[in-house]
Structure 1
Amino acid sequence: MAEIETRVSTSNRVLDDHSSDPFDSGLLSYEVAGNLIEYYNTKMVTHYPFVIVPKGQSVKEMAQNRPGLCLAAFAAASHDNVQLQRSLNTLFNKLISARLLKGCFASLDILQGLLVHVACIISDLRIDQPRKPRLWSVDGGKERDSADWGTEEMRALAGAYYLSSNTSILLHKSRHFTHSSYISRCVEYISANAQVSTDTHLQYLIQLQRLTEEIDDVWNADLDDLGKQRAGETIRHVATQCETIKSSLPFPINESLPILFQFNLLELFLSQSSPGGSHYGVDKFEKPVLAQHSQNSNLIDWLSASISAAQSIIRIIIVLPSGEEAILSNISWIIIYCALSLAVRLDLTAAKTASTQFLRRFLDMSQTLRQICIRLEAASGEDVDETGDHNAFYHLALRARRLEKWYQKQSAEEQGNSSHDHGATDHDPSLSDIAPSSVAVSDDSLDFGMSSVLFSDTLGFPMHLDIENEGMWSDFTPAG
């Protein structure tokens, strides 16, 4: 299948005025730019394998023909230089603005450089379907003599779906970019005709994401008794498929961190889904649990499975080689913080009854939070941009410290309550005592509900666009 040529020709480029050219502005030399591209393709692509900078052209030619992709890659790979990264992001913003003004925004180059606009760009480019429609066009239409979509378009389509679906689920937003059999066919084709090693990962990422959607659909459905029975069947089916995919991977699972994250995330979701009719799970957090259930084996089973799944995700960042924090994608950080927030609540839940307190040693939450805070603080460094602002990890470290402070406060209160109530009550507090909606803490604390504990902006994230840090936990816009 031939690659289609880039839609934006050099004669119609927005960079004619050089306002977005990092070389004319003196930000980069071609040698440094070449090193950044090499770093992006060798180190960063493994964490988001849907966009690859093509080889075979000089840096100068690539910057001329694919300015959006190149600027995005330059900015992503320059994460160790905050001022350079933000200057490059400023140029990228200028490029995007110019494209919007001049009406040549819908291009593969921009899609690859800015996947945050997944839905509208995909719609405009029509790469969410075969290039040659078979149903409506008698003679094949205007594309009849064109090659079908190539691997770059297919990767971009799969990457846009993956980001849109994953962030919608994790942030509890509506899904507007739905899965289709065409997406599956695309990633199967890419995997079968792999141009780079990460191409073989794509079909498994998409399969796992589709299974995650099935669990999310169960959570969001308003089920009657028959619906609950079918939901249980769906959950068991997803669990079986998850194990089948894991056992059939043609490569070690640790070869792909995105796949490892996705497996662990799916297992975390499965642990919350209560297929046997348990009274526990994320969707039950806000409902009181009666006294007789506190000693029930269902509670222990649920807590054990949930803690194990959350621990598997947290362990990835704990054992990650020092210095590689900056090349994790936004999705990875969302998953990490999701798991960390849930782990804190699971630990506090386990602390409430004598029959479950033994589970707390598996998380060792105090030590885990301390390790993560120290790691993020080390990653934040001393570098600042021209406004004096630190990199993203400085702000992440502050948030992690707030989470640690909140946990310490809740733990101290729980210990106090346990000492005061020991032998004086005939039932344990309900899970709703630590429900996200009931957490009332001081102004320096945060709401730790599943829909609000996650990263909510791309600011300063090494993979992506930088914008002002004041909006750091507002509406999340994925970029990689």
Structure 2
Amino acid sequence: MECVFLQAKARQKGPRGSRTRVQEMEKRLDGLLTLLADKEATEARATWPKSAYSAPSLSTVEKTSLNFADSFLPPPLLSDFGRPSPLSPFFGFPFPMVDGINDIISKGVVHFGHVERCVRYFRAETCDFPFVIVPEDSSVDFLRRHRPVLLLAILCMATRSDAQLQRQLEREIRDTLSRKVMFNCEKSLDLIQAILVYVTWSHMYCDPERQQLYQLSQMATTMAIDLELHKPAMVSSFANISHDKLEEWRTLLGCYYVTSTLCHSLRKPVLLRYDNYIAQCSQLLFQIKQAESDCHLHFYIQLQRIVEEASQTFNLESTYVVPEVDAIRIGILTCGFEHKMTQLRMSIPAEIWSNASLRLAFYHAKIYTNEVGLHSTHIIGADMLSDITLTTRSWYQSSERSETLIQCLQATKEYLDQFLALSPEAIAHITTPEFLHLIYAVLVLGSLATTTQSPRLDAASIRSLADFESYISALSRKSQQTIATPNIGRGTHEHMRNLHHLWQQSKPWYAQSITGNGALARTIGSFPDLSFMDILSTIVQRCSSSPMLCDGSPVRCE
């Protein structure tokens, strides 16, 4: 105040006042303000909490300011999924913030502007993961104070252009979850949503040898049950439904979808199953339509419900033993699932069906409901039985199984055709469930082409229809094209290199399988091995070998 007064007094001297005196007053003012700022900064640094991440040095800040597009911007989004591009300019703060909140922003790990861009980027992903919504009116300050762990998970998911920063954020969220859940025994909607987001995009930054998808999904579900999110709530009218209640419903449905998807992909027991309350939550969200993505959410849940029913009906969760029922009954059940899929497809509006993620989920469900055709045992002494007995008792010999195998093959090829139609940029943004579905589709196609035996179908014809080599080559080209695509993020490049190498290694496996070398044709008894968990060690082994791709870059598994 004294400086301002002196400066004003000097200016009041009018034309007789010396310009030099005014300039001297202004210099004194600038000097005092500089000293005051230095003093406040010194006191603030003394109160900052100790962290594994130090504030960026001046050279780091200067370098970062020259490479914002390369270091801090999330990759652009494409029109394949109908998403807007979040590539608008932003201005960040290159120094740590002092605002009373102890997080990575106040520590100076990330810029405030980068956080805002990541939140906008996450909002653009809503249609592909409609279970956690960040409304437009939810500011970064609100998220920092009320959803801090979710915000950290969003930053980890959206920071794809800087692999080193993403790894820091991934370590931070794991440490945060360990501290809050294991040591402090905390339970909150924030933690559940953070785990859901972390798991949904975990394949982009996790180490396959340390993957905890199943454990983390079960942790989120258990926490939701402890908070009684699964207990029915009385709803008299739409007007009585609060925003918080809608958020709880989405979170519960997210636990169901993510947990169910991972459990059926990994062939693990399911903790949370579809019931009347889950159906009610899904239906009410679809009717209220508070968020545009609530319509997508409803159909994701319906598809996963059909997958769950098929898994329970045919005992596909953890074993490969078809229930002891006759072939006619299994045929009726498979026809029933086909009818449900047809009815569901007819109920999906055109604007929702245009979403590529939902289409992939639909064709994955079609594969799964027909997978039972791959699981059969040849009855010893079947040649001595009559045709009537075989038709009635033997699923292996039945015409219903042959039809199921053909439908399974068609659904698998439809899925892969849909996937290959995506642009490289869209493929770079697939979620963990979609990644598992892709692996599953390739495993099914490989099983159909190599291990399918049916007295009513010619193995050579099935192999020709499967066209495994062509699909693997197309997937390999697609992954290589994705790797060569700029602006999709370094972490995504590493993930796609691993996937590309997996496709490349599948070619010699297929060649040896069809030439009679059964060492690589891995089966469980007479049943095909379709468990992602069983090929996980193979992926790690192949990724850890470091061969050189055609672009000269080594394969790494980070």
Would you say same fold, with TM above 0.5? yes
- Give the SS at the match of 2:428: helix
* Cα 1:290–1:373 shift into 2, 3 Å: farther
* 2:299 is the alignment partner of 1:207: no
Task: Indicate how the Cα distance of structure 1 residues 286 and 91 shifts in structure 2: closer, same or farther if over 3 A, else same.
Answer: farther
In the alignment, what sits opposite 1:93?
174
What does residue 114 of structure 2 align with?
32
Q: Residue 146 and residue 358 in structure 1: after superposition, are their counterparts in 2 closer, same or farther (change >3 A)?
A: closer
Look up the match of 2:148.
67
Which of 428, 444, 448 matches 1:326?
428
After TM superposition, give the deviation of residue 288 of structure 1 in Å: 8.2
2:529 counterpart SS class:
coil
The one of 365, 373, 376 equivalent to 2:479 is 376
| SS of residue in 1 equivalent to 2:272 | coil
SS of 1:169 mapped into structure 2: helix
Alpha-carbon distance in structure 2 between the residues aligned to 1:191 and 1:362: 40
How far apart in 1 are the matches of 2:301 and 2:508? 37
1:433-455: per-residue Cα shift (whole Å, max 9, x none)?
9672369xxxxxxx971124677
How far did residue 189 of structure 1 move?
A: 1.1
What are the within-5 Å matches in structure 2 for residues 199-278 of structure 1?
199-220=294-315, 223-225=323-325, 232-252=331-351, 254-273=353-372
Matching residue's letter, 1:81 = D
1:284 aligns with 2:376: yes
Give 2:187's match in structure 1, choosing from 106, 112, 131.
106
Quickly say closer, same or farther: Cα 1:342–1:285, change in 2 above 3 A.
farther
Q: Are the structure 2 counterparts of residues 21 and 394 from structure 1 closer, same or farther at C-alpha, using a change threshold of 3 Å?
A: farther
Q: Map 1:397-416; keep pairs closer than 5 Å.
A: 397-413=500-516
CA distance, structure 2, for counterparts of residue 395 and residue 285 of structure 1: 35
Partner amino acid for 1:284?
S
SS at match of 1:72: helix
> Aligned pair in 2 of structure 1 residues 289, 238: CA closer, same or farther (>3 Å)?
farther
Give the AA of the match of 1:41.
R
Q: C-alpha separation between the residues in 1 aligned to 2:288 and 2:397?
A: 54
> RMSD over aligned Cα, in angstroms?
4.0
Q: CA deviation at 1:158?
A: 0.4
Displacement after TM superposition at 1:214 (Å): 1.5
Contact 1:51 1:155 in 2 (8 A): yes
Match in the other structure for 1:338: 440
Measured in 2, the distance between the counterparts of 1:240 and 1:301 equals 15
The 2-side partners of 1:91 and 1:260 are apart by: 34
What is the Cα deviation at residue 23 of structure 1?
1.6
Higher relative contact order (CA 8 A, sep 6+): 1
Does residue 122 in structure 1 map to residue 122 in structure 2?
A: no
1:131-164 deviations in whole A, cap 9, x for unaligned?
5799xxxxxxxxxx99695111111100111111
SS state at 2:137 partner: coil
CA contact under 8 A between 1:341 and 1:453: conserved in structure 2? no
Query: Compared with structure 1, are the counterparts of its residues 150 and 181 closer, same or farther at alpha carbon in structure 2 (3 Å cutoff)?
Result: same
Change (3 A) 1:198 1:355: same
For residues 482 and 380 of structure 2, the distance between their equivalents in structure 1, rounded to whole angstroms, comes to 41
Return the letter of the residue paired with 1:246: R
Q: Distance in 2 between matches of 1:302 and 1:101?
A: 46
2:523 aligns with 436
1:165 to 255, 260, 267: 260
Q: Please report how far the alpha carbon of residue 210 of structure 1 lies from its aligned counterpart in structure 2 after TM superposition.
A: 1.6
* 2:495 maps to 1:392: yes
Distance 2:380 2:410 in 1: 24
Q: Show the counterpart of 2:278.
A: 183
- Which AA in structure 1 matches 2:523? P
Task: Identify if the C-alpha distance between structure 1 residues 342 and 224 changes in structure 2 by more than 3 Å, giving closer, same or farther.
Answer: closer
What 5-or-longer segments of structure 2 have no aligned partner? 1-47, 52-101, 197-216, 316-320, 391-395, 545-558
Q: Residue 450 of structure 1 aligns with which residue?
A: 530
Structure 1 window deviating more from structure 2 (323-332 vs 102-111): it is: 102-111
Residues 130, 149 of structure 1: 8 Å contact kept: no
Q: Amino acid of the residue matched to residue 348 of structure 1?
A: T
Q: Is the 8 A contact 2:310 2:369 kept in 1?
A: yes
One-letter code aligned to 1:196: A
Asked if the contact 1:310–1:342 (Cα under 8 Å) also holds between the matched residues in 2, the reply is yes
Could you say which residue in structure 2 is the equivalent of 1:174? 269
Partner of 2:58: none
**Paired AA for residue 371 in structure 1:** A
| Structure 1 residues 46 and 132, CA gap change in structure 2 (3 angstroms) | closer
Q: Which residue identity lines up with residue 48 of structure 1 in the other structure? A: F
Distance 1:111 1:299, change over 3 A: closer
Shift of 1:287: 7.5
User: Cα 1:17–1:129, aligned 2, differ >3 Å: closer, same or farther?
Assistant: farther
Report the alpha carbon displacement of residue 213 of structure 1 after superposing the two structures with TM. 1.5
Q: CA 1:178–1:290 in 2, change beyond 3 Å: closer, same or farther?
A: same
In the alignment, what sits opposite 2:55?
none
Flag structure 1 segments of 5+ consecutive residues without an equivalent.
1-15, 135-144, 274-280, 418-432, 440-446, 461-468, 471-480
Highest CA radius of gyration, 1 or 2?
Answer: 2
Q: Which moved more, 1:147-156 or 1:336-345?
A: 147-156
Contact 1:212–1:266 (Cα < 8 Å) also in 2: yes
Q: Secondary structure at the match of 2:160?
A: coil
Corresponding residue number in structure 1 for 2:84: none
Letter of the 1:393 partner, please give it. M
Greater displacement, 205-214 / 374-383 = 374-383
Rounded Cα–Cα distance in structure 2 between residues aligned with 1:148 and 1:59? 19
Q: Distance in 2 between matches of 1:262 and 1:185?
A: 21
2:110 counterpart letter in structure 1:
L
Report how far residue 306 of structure 1 moved: 1.9
* CA distance in structure 1 between the partners assigned to 2:377 and 2:533 by the alignment: 15
Shift of the 84–326 alpha-carbon distance from structure 1 to 2, 3 Å rule, reads farther
Query: What's the CA shift for 1:327?
Result: 1.7
Per-residue CA deviation, residues 26-70 of structure 1 (Å, 9 max, x unaligned), is 33212121111111111x222221112222133233223211111
1:236 CA drift (Å)? 3.2
How far off its partner does 1:223 sit? 4.2
Q: Which amino acid aligns with 1:113?
A: A
CA 1:454–1:108 in structure 2 vs 1: closer, same or farther (change >3 Å)? farther
Matched to 1:77, the amino acid is A
Q: Cα 1:286–1:177, aligned 2, differ >3 Å: closer, same or farther?
A: farther
